[in-house]
A and B are shown apart, each in its own frame.
Chain A
Amino acid sequence: MEKIPILRMGEFLLVTIQIDMHDQLALKLQDDLSAAISKNASKGVLIDISSLEMVDSFIGRMVADISGMGRILGAETVLVGMQPAVAITLVELGLSLPGIATALNVERGMALLRRKMDADGADDDQR
Chain B
Amino acid sequence: MTTSVKSGEAPVRSEHDIVLARQQVRRLAQELKFSLVDQTKMVTAASELARNALVYGRGGTMHWTVLEADGRKGLRLKFADEGPGIANMDLAMTDGWTSGNGLGMGLTGTKRLVNEFEIDSAIGAGTRVTITRWK
The answer to whether B112 and A92 have CB atoms under 8 Å apart is: yes
The answer to whether A56 and B51 have CB atoms under 8 Å apart is: yes
Known A-B contacts A57-B105, A89-B37; the reply to A23 vs B15 at CB < 8 A is yes
Distance to closest chain A CB from B104 (angstroms): 9
Interface of chain B: mostly helix, strand, loop or mixed? helix
A88 to B105, CA, bound (A): 15
A105 to B16, CA, bound (A): 29
B73 on interface, CB distance cutoff 8 Å: no
Which residues does chain A contribute within 8 Å of B71, judged by CB atoms? none
The answer to whether B109 and A57 have CB atoms under 8 Å apart is: yes
The answer to whether B18 and A85 have CB atoms under 8 Å apart is: no
A54 on interface, CB distance cutoff 8 Å: yes
Q: How large is the interface on A (under 10, 10 to 19, 20 to 34, 35 or more residues)?
A: 20 to 34
The answer to whether A54 and B44 have CB atoms under 8 Å apart is: yes
Q: Within B101-124, which residues are at the interface with A (CB < 8 Å)?
A: 102-103, 105-106, 108-110, 112-113
Which residues does chain A contribute within 8 Å of B102, judged by CB atoms? 57-58, 61
Q: Which of B22, B47, B112 contacts A94 (CB 8 A)?
A: B112
The answer to whether B48 and A56 have CB atoms under 8 Å apart is: yes
Q: Mark A45-74, 1 if CB is under 8 A from B, else 0.
A: 000000001111110110000000000000
The answer to whether B113 and A93 have CB atoms under 8 Å apart is: yes
Which residues does chain A contribute within 8 Å of B15, judged by CB atoms? 22-24
Known A-B contacts A23-B51, A85-B40; the reply to A95 vs B103 at CB < 8 A is yes
Which residues does chain A contribute within 8 Å of B23, judged by CB atoms? 20
Which residues does chain A contribute within 8 Å of B62, judged by CB atoms? none
Query: Nearest residue in B to A23 (C-beta to C-beta)?
Result: B15
Query: Nearest residue in A to B40 (C-beta to C-beta)?
Result: A85
Sampled A-B contacts (27; CB under 8 Å): A20-B23, A22-B18, A23-B51, A54-B40, A54-B47, A55-B44, A56-B51, A57-B48, A57-B102, A57-B103, A57-B109, A60-B103, A61-B102, A83-B40, A85-B37, A89-B41, A90-B44, A92-B41, A92-B109, A92-B112, A93-B44, A93-B112, A93-B113, A94-B95, A94-B105, A94-B108, A95-B105
Ranked 4 nearest A-B pairs via Cβ: A93-B109, A85-B40, A56-B47, A22-B15
